[in-house]
Amino acid sequence: MFKFLRLRPVDQRYALLEACLIGVISALAAIALKGGIGWLGGYRVQMANEHGWLVLPLAGFLFGGLTGVCLQWLAPDVGGGGIPQVKAVLAQFPMSLSLRSALVKMLGTIFILGAGFTLGRRGPTVHMGAALAAQLTVWLPTSPQHRRQMIAAGAAAGLAAGFNTPIAGIVFVIEELMRDISGFTLETAILASFTGAVVSRLFGASDVNLSGLVSQKGWDVTFVSQEIPFFYCWESVQDYWGFYFNRGILFSLRCYQNLSFPLPLRIAVAGLISGSIVAALPPFFRDNAGLRDFLITGEGGWQLTAIALIAYFILTLVAYGSGAPGGLFSPALVLGSALGYLIGVAEVSILEFGSANTYALAGMGAMFTAVVRVPVTAIIIIFELTANFELVLPLMITCATAYVVAEGLASGSLYQRLLAAKGINLREEAQVDPLLARLTAEQVMQSSVDTLSPDLTLDETCQAFSRSPHRGFPVVEQGRLVGMITQTDLGKFMSRSQPLTLQDMMTKRPMSVSPTAPLQEVLYLLNRYQLSHLPVTKRERLVGIITRSDIIRAEVEELHDPKRIPSGMEQRVTGEPSYIIYQTRSPAVGKGRILLPLANPDTVASLTEFGSAIAQFSQAELELLHLIKVPRHLAPDQVWVDDTIGRKLLQQGETIANQYKIPIHTQIRTTHERSEAILEVIQERKISLLILGWKGTKNIFTGHLFGKIASKLIRRANCDLVLIKRSEDQKQREKEYTRWLIPLAMENTQVEQLLALLPQLSALFPNPEYILCGVTANSETNDTQTLLETRAEALQKQLESPVESIGLSPPSQENQVLQLAREKACDVIVLLTNLQIASRSLILEPSDENNLPAMIANRFQGTVILVRPAPKT
């Protein structure tokens, strides 16, 4: 069965089966969450009744702090209600949704709600359902397009299990999360939602049963046409209440962030404040479920309901702003019902007809709409909870009015504003990556394909591989793709003595895609099954093949074509400046400043010695920098980080640099992007030279030449930049670097800048010898040799060291340089790089002259120093 699943990873039937499984798992998670909250909350109330009111603030403080520690160390991005995170993931933002997220969310929500925080558990059930669905798509084969639907189905199942409202779960996915009404989205959401609701109802995961409350309290839910004007009038009050609730939530978040407390302390303080407030209020406030029923039913009269309404509002702001894991669904419904009840009491006393209970239930839907901006979901939730048809018209009036008025006051739901506060700006029209969605397999594939016949013998197949640079071949019979053979497959049969044909060795029914398949599906299949080649077929006929290099080439072409990049795409995530969390300063000497970012403990000593020697030679200052990357949705100046490793690296570097008696500055920064932070430091600290360690590129025909960070710095840094790749041989590292080879592209205008930096680069090494070899793109070598000798003589006078000059002819310059390095026993090769090379990926032919520095750097076993002089202004 699993083999068949592997062959058909995007079969819709298995996706629907997976949706049912998601519904069951989400419902079980909701049941476990409810049980944990009930047990801990009941124990807290019992202890408070037996031992006094001090138990409440103490429980809030301890469990709040414990929750903060769990979030900070295990899953920092699962705080809050969880629905903003799900929206961001569905919009293709890099947030974590996994089994760990679900477990940490469950544990944190149990601690928070059990400790008495006035938040809801339905938002967390949505988050948990989506996270469990995301984990399931990792374990079971699912295409990238279907993965989004599976996550949305998990969210629908979580909402359905939390409220026992399966229809509302489906509508919420369509109206708020996905904005998608395609058939597959509906099918998966329906199956997951109804499965979750059925399992939840069997085990009683939801304790919200308004129909039971209505019958128990003997509510008279009525509505007459004369009340319509009054519903419109009081609805404006409800909308302003929702508007200020949203603003209050955002204000609370900003207040906590301004305190600059670590997350555990913020949540602990919120628990202490909440517990103290609850302890001063009547006893029914101690039980969240009882408090909710009290406010919904209004059984305490309008006076107590008004007091409880204000207190509940404040408690919700205090709890949510701290970052505690808890939702806003229940608070919005409860506050809406309490305010609706108060307005209903006033209306009945004035008009002497109508029902305050009708206003309370309609107020729930209106408040929910004003906060979340999902009027259809609000109507269906209240209707499914009450099962009362008399409420349909009042709900439609209030929810529709609430949506129009709320959008007029402030556009966008609270969830969008919460994401915007973290720097994530969603655009509804760009829910998938436009770059990957636009490209198809037909646009990327190679149409000319070398194929093999299934009747080839083992020897003939080996000969085919030996004559070709390819590592795999499609096997085709009468134009139809029947199999795939790779070098790995072939190696398994090399020791067989019996005669074999290719048909016996090939992988039958190989993975393939259609020409119209989007690039994101191609990438998914290549990565999931670790494929090097992916055939493209049309009605089982081979029409092309795709390799990873083809995909990289297509993406590079897209990214370097400004006309193809949608406007504003780079602004979808608003980055924030880096933030200094630790720094030391020495006296400034004003003769230049060298920046040395430290990240790898294995290279701290060598890089610091190199940078310190240059600083001593040029009488400059040395700036040691360590960067801590934080998730994009967390503010660098607010997130708590452990800087222990960074301090150790800086102390180790400072100890080495002190031996050179130079001014040393150190700093640790938190940032979203390390390259941007380095550029920021270069600008702020007036850096004259940047030194980076470099591991080299294992395969120079894939990926970026120097890595994303170094490539961006080479393009944008306005100072001299040096990349150092140390020798992989330990003995080579320990010996003194006495012989340096400097290949010079004679046509390059930056050669003079390189030669001017050379004395600084060799400051650490005593009495080195230099070999200048001239590299030219043409065969006119006489002028080149003369110019090379002139430069060698000038450099010898400047360095007071022997300098030898050797000219190279155009063909095979790379091999000549490497051969010369071996013949002369060179320890170091110094290469000049430039903006043109750094700005392109290495999808070039080996003969391309722009690849020369990369190919030399990757094949040379000694130390390589790449220099990019500062751009001329």
Write out pLDDT tens, residues 618-636: 899 999 999 998 876 677 8
Looking at the DSSP bridge assignments, the partners of residue 79 are none
pLDDT surpassing 90 at residue 665: yes
**Residues in Cβ contact with 492 at an 8 Å cutoff, skipping those fewer than 6 apart:** 505
pLDDT confidence tier of residue 210, bands split at 50, 70 and 90: low
pLDDT at residue 208, as a whole number: 55
pLDDT confidence tier of residue 843, bands split at 50, 70 and 90: very low
pLDDT at residue 555, as a whole number: 65
Q: Residue 177 gets which letter from DSSP? A: I
pLDDT at residue 838, as a whole number: 38
- What SS3 class is residue 93? coil
pLDDT at residue 704, as a whole number: 47
Strand ranges (E), 634-713? 664-671, 689-693
Separation of alpha carbons 205 and 849, rounded Å? 67
Pick from 118, 134, 451: which is nearest to 308 by CA? Answer: 118
pLDDT at residue 522, as a whole number: 81
- The neighbour count for residue 354, using CB atoms within 10 Å, is 20
HSE toward the beta carbon, residue 588, CA cutoff 13 A: 7
Q: What are phi and psi for residue 409, nearest 5 degrees?
A: -75, -45
Mean pLDDT (whole number) for 68-81? 86
pLDDT confidence tier of residue 65, bands split at 50, 70 and 90: very high
Q: Which residue has the higher pLDDT, 471 or 403?
A: 403
Strand ranges (E), 351-502? 472-477, 480-486
- What SS3 class is residue 851? helix
> Does this chain's domain 213-421 share its CATH topology with 579-693?
no
Q: What confidence tens digit (pLDDT) does each residue in 331-384 have?
A: 888 888 888 888 878 877 777 666 777 878 888 888 888 888 888 888 888 888
Q: What are phi and psi for residue 687, nearest 5 degrees?
A: -75, 135
pLDDT at residue 654, as a whole number: 93
According to DSSP, the β-strands at 472-477 and 480-486 are antiparallel
- What is the number of residues in the chain? 873
Task: Quickly name the fold that domain 9-207 has.
Answer: Clc chloride channel (1.10.3080)
pLDDT surpassing 90 at residue 146: no
pLDDT at residue 622, as a whole number: 94
Would you state the structure tokens that stand for residue 572, as one six-digit string?
A: 């979808």
- Is 194 in contact with 25 (CB distance < 8 Å)? no
Separation of alpha carbons 215 and 371, rounded Å? 29
pLDDT at residue 784, as a whole number: 64
- Is 461 in contact with 486 (CB distance < 8 Å)? no
pLDDT confidence tier of residue 431, bands split at 50, 70 and 90: very low
- Is 480 in contact with 541 (CB distance < 8 Å)? yes
- Region of poorest pLDDT, from 39-53, 181-195, 476-490, 702-716: 702-716
Q: Residue 388 gets which letter from DSSP? A: -
pLDDT confidence tier of residue 700, bands split at 50, 70 and 90: very low
The H or E element that residue 543 is part of is strand 541-547
Q: What confidence tens digit (pLDDT) does each residue in 158-173 have?
A: 888 888 888 888 888 8
Mean pLDDT of the chain: 78
The CATH number of the structural domain formed by 730-866 is 3.40.50.620
The CATH number of the structural domain formed by 213-421 is 1.10.3080.10
pLDDT at residue 206, as a whole number: 56
The H or E element that residue 797 is part of is helix 781-799
Would you state the structure tokens that stand for residue 359, as one six-digit string?
A: 């206003």
Range with top average pLDDT, 99-113, 429-443, 544-558: 99-113
pLDDT surpassing 50 at residue 454: yes
pLDDT at residue 164, as a whole number: 81
Q: What confidence tens digit (pLDDT) does each residue in 775-793 have?
A: 665 545 566 667 778 778 8
pLDDT confidence tier of residue 129, bands split at 50, 70 and 90: very high
Burial class (CB in 10 A: 0-12, 13-18, 19+), 144: buried
- Is 842 in contact with 705 (CB distance < 8 Å)? yes
How much helix, strand and coil, in percent to the nearest 5, is found in the chain? Answer: 60, 15, 30
Mean pLDDT (whole number) for 712-729? 82
- Is 32 in contact with 24 (CB distance < 8 Å)? no
- The neighbour count for residue 651, using CB atoms within 10 Å, is 12
Domain assignments of the chain as residue spans, ordered by start:
9-207, 213-421, 440-564, 579-693, 730-866
The CATH number of the structural domain formed by 579-693 is 3.40.50.620
Query: Distance between terminal CA atoms of the chain?
Result: 65
pLDDT at residue 699, as a whole number: 44
pLDDT at residue 682, as a whole number: 93
**Residues in Cβ contact with 753 at an 8 Å cutoff, skipping those fewer than 6 apart:** 720, 869, 870
Q: What confidence tens digit (pLDDT) does each residue in 20-31 have?
A: 899 899 999 999
pLDDT at residue 547, as a whole number: 81
Task: Quickly name the fold that domain 440-564 has.
Answer: CBS-domain (3.10.580)
Pick from 642, 619, 555: which is nearest to 763 by CA? Answer: 619
**Residues in Cβ contact with 839 at an 8 Å cutoff, skipping those fewer than 6 apart:** 711, 715
- 3-state SS, one letter per residue, for 316-345: HHHHHHCCCCCECHHHHHHHHHHHHHHHHH
The H or E element that residue 373 is part of is none
Separation of alpha carbons 205 and 420, rounded Å? 33
pLDDT at residue 793, as a whole number: 80
Separation of alpha carbons 172 and 123, rounded Å? 12
- The neighbour count for residue 462, using CB atoms within 10 Å, is 15
**127-142 b/e (C-beta count within 10 Å ≥ 16 → b):** bbbbbbbbbbbeebbb
Residue with tokens 């200020």: 244
Amino acid of residue 57: P
pLDDT surpassing 50 at residue 750: yes
- Is 413 in contact with 406 (CB distance < 8 Å)? no
Q: What confidence tens digit (pLDDT) does each residue in 86-106 have?
A: 888 887 776 778 899 999 999
